[in-house]
Amino acid sequence: MKNRFQHIIEGNIYQGLEIFEIDNSKYYTFLKLYKKKGELTVSFEELFTDLDNLVASVDNKKALAVVLNTSKVLKKKISNGTPANVEQWVAQAFPNLDLENFYYQVLDSADFKVVSISKKSEVDIFLKQLRQNGIVPSKIAIGISELSNTLPYLHFPVHGSSFYIDENENAGPEINNSDKMEGGTIDMNGLTLSRTSLLSFSSILGTVNHVQVPSNLQDINLSLDHGFKNRRFFSLGSQLGLGALLVLLLLNFVLFSHYRSKTLDMDTIASLENQSNLLNLTKDRIANKESKLNALMNSSNSKVTFYLDQIGNSLPASILLDKLDYQPLLKPVQDDKPIEMVQNTMIVTGLTNNKEEFTSWADDLEKMDWIKTIEIQSLEFDTKNSDRFTLKIGIHEAGQ
């Protein structure tokens, strides 16, 4: 059940992207893996020298783990004897560092530890550049910290995109920068990858196994993850809505065909009077089912897709929706009784980890032409990091 839920939320295709530099030139290693029955296989692997050429290969409906490993990221090895406190590790590697202005991430392995840091402004600029090119990550990492997910499967020396790690008899593993890009492949438990894809694969493996490398990137990664899940939720919701409508139409056709066939069969074994009675009874049942179906179909017109798109495009990353009920039922559906719904009304529920952004979002929704009123029915504590809310949206009768 847990794996099935994870498949629905994340999908079975994972993407990894590393941005690195050699001789002041930027390179983009893009990797796409397919997960089936717990095993990962490579479905796409490419090295790009230009961000514009990369864009066509990225699918924003699939999870994308990005690793920033350029000259803007500093890396330093520290002693394994350091106390097990992440901020103390950072302080030993980079004394007097103002953590308010820097992101850090730590490679914590049995053999050695490496602290990677980058200015928050540099990471923000990098994410903005990706968004301007239509690329939205679901996770970001810096330096070589994600290697902690794959080092147990590797043997020294380890060659990556712009670095290599060799073992020193006295000092243990040492990290070195490469002055040129080395070819060759890496075998990862039967999975063959290019050396330049090592960090991309490591970051994907951390995503699949839900491993969090020690860092202060939790808030930004939580925001990116919520954004990805919101996009996937609305994409799947639209597909499921259309599928449900087609199923209802098919059921209506099958029911009609079934009853009509039964009626025709009775012609040979019943009198004309009995045939007439049975036919009328069948028609009444079909009419009843058609009336219910038409009621559901009339409430699921093309405006629903417009409403979903408007709400989805307005969502901030701090809000995660889990239910949207358009024209909710006043009472459960009963045989031989009309379906009663709350006309021109939508109930939206979800979670938010930022009350100010939630209030601002609700105010922005109320300004939309097609929305008549917005009522916050509830905003209650859910966890220490999030609150659960329920919105009642009144829609103009004309749907404009």
H/E run at residue 25: strand 25-36
Q: What pTM value is reported for the model?
A: 0.60
Lowest mean pLDDT among 109-113, 270-274, 296-300: 296-300
Q: What is the C-alpha to C-alpha distance for residues 256 and 96, in angstroms, rounded to an integer?
A: 78
Nearest to residue 27, comparing CAs of 67, 76, 74, 63?
A: 67
**What is the gyration radius of the CA atoms in the chain, in angstroms?**
28
User: What DSSP string runs through 172-218?
Assistant: EEEEEE-SS----EEEETTEEEEGGGHHHHHHHHHHHTT---SBS-H
Q: How confident is the model at residue 48 (pLDDT cuts 50, 70, 90)?
A: very high
Question: How many residues in the chain?
Answer: 400
Taking only the tens place, the pLDDT of each residue in 102-124 is: 999 999 888 789 999 999 999 99
Helix pair 303-314, 355-366: axis angle to 10 deg: 140
**Cα separation, 118 vs 102, whole angstroms:** 6
Range among 40-49, 170-179, 316-325 rated most confident: 40-49
State the average pLDDT for the chain.
84
Q: Which domains does the chain have, with CATH numbers?
A: 2-216 (no CATH), 232-395 (3.30.1360.100)
pLDDT of amino acid 400:
46
pLDDT score at 399: 45
With contact defined as beta carbons under 8 Å apart, do 388 and 382 qualify?
A: yes
How remote is the C-alpha of 281 from its chain's centroid?
50
Pairing of β 39-48 and β 74-78: unpaired
Contact between residue 21 and residue 70 where contact means Cβ atoms under 8 Å apart: yes
Contact status, residue 324 vs residue 237, Cβ threshold 8 Å = yes
The residue type of 399 is G
> Worst-scoring range by mean pLDDT, 137-141, 160-164, 292-296, 389-393?
292-296
CA atoms within 13 A on the CB side of 95: 0
Q: What are phi and psi of 144, to 5 degrees?
A: -110, 20
Cα distance between residue 351 and residue 387, in whole Å: 6
Neighbours of 76 (CB within 10 A): 15
Would you state the pLDDT for residue 5? 47
Q: Which residues pair with 141 in a beta bridge?
A: 67
